[in-house]
């Protein structure tokens, strides 16, 4: 089976791990720009396949489940 990888090149044409300001490994799924993704009913399945659901349910909820403005999906993250 072939694998694919993504090489990102910054403005100086140098390889980088930063994609449009995303610097953390999970920011692409936990950041504010991903809020519409988290409203999709398939999100929990994706999070489970990535291992995030087990991690979050282990007591380490993501920032989008913070006390000030928790997203609706957070209720489902607490359910086992």
- Cβ atoms of 57 and 51 closer than 8 Å: no
Residue 74 sits at the vertex; the CA angle it makes with 51 and 22, to the nearest 5 degrees, is 60
Residue 32: per-residue pLDDT: 86
SS3 9: strand
Report which of 49, 60, 17, 15 is spatially closest to residue 74, judged by C-alpha positions: 60
SS3 46: helix
What whole-number distance in Å separates Cα of residue 77 and Cα of residue 57?
Answer: 6
Confidence of residue 21 (pLDDT cuts 50, 70, 90): low
Residue 11 has pLDDT above 60, yes or no: no
pLDDT tens across 25-79, in order? 677 788 888 899 999 999 999 899 989 999 999 988 998 998 888 899 998 887 6
Residue 12 has pLDDT above 80, yes or no: no
More confident: 44 or 21: 44
């Amino acid at each position: 089976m072939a694998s694919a990888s993504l090489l990102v090149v910054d403005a100086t044409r140098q390889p980088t791990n930063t994609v449009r300001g995303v610097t953390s490994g999970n920011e692409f799924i936990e950041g504010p720009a991903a809020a519409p993704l988290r409203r999709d009913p398939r999100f929990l399945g994706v999070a489970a396949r990535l291992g995030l659901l087990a991690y979050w349910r282990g007591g380490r909820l993501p920032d989008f489940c913070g006390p000030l403005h928790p997203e609706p999906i957070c209720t489902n993250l607490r359910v086992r």
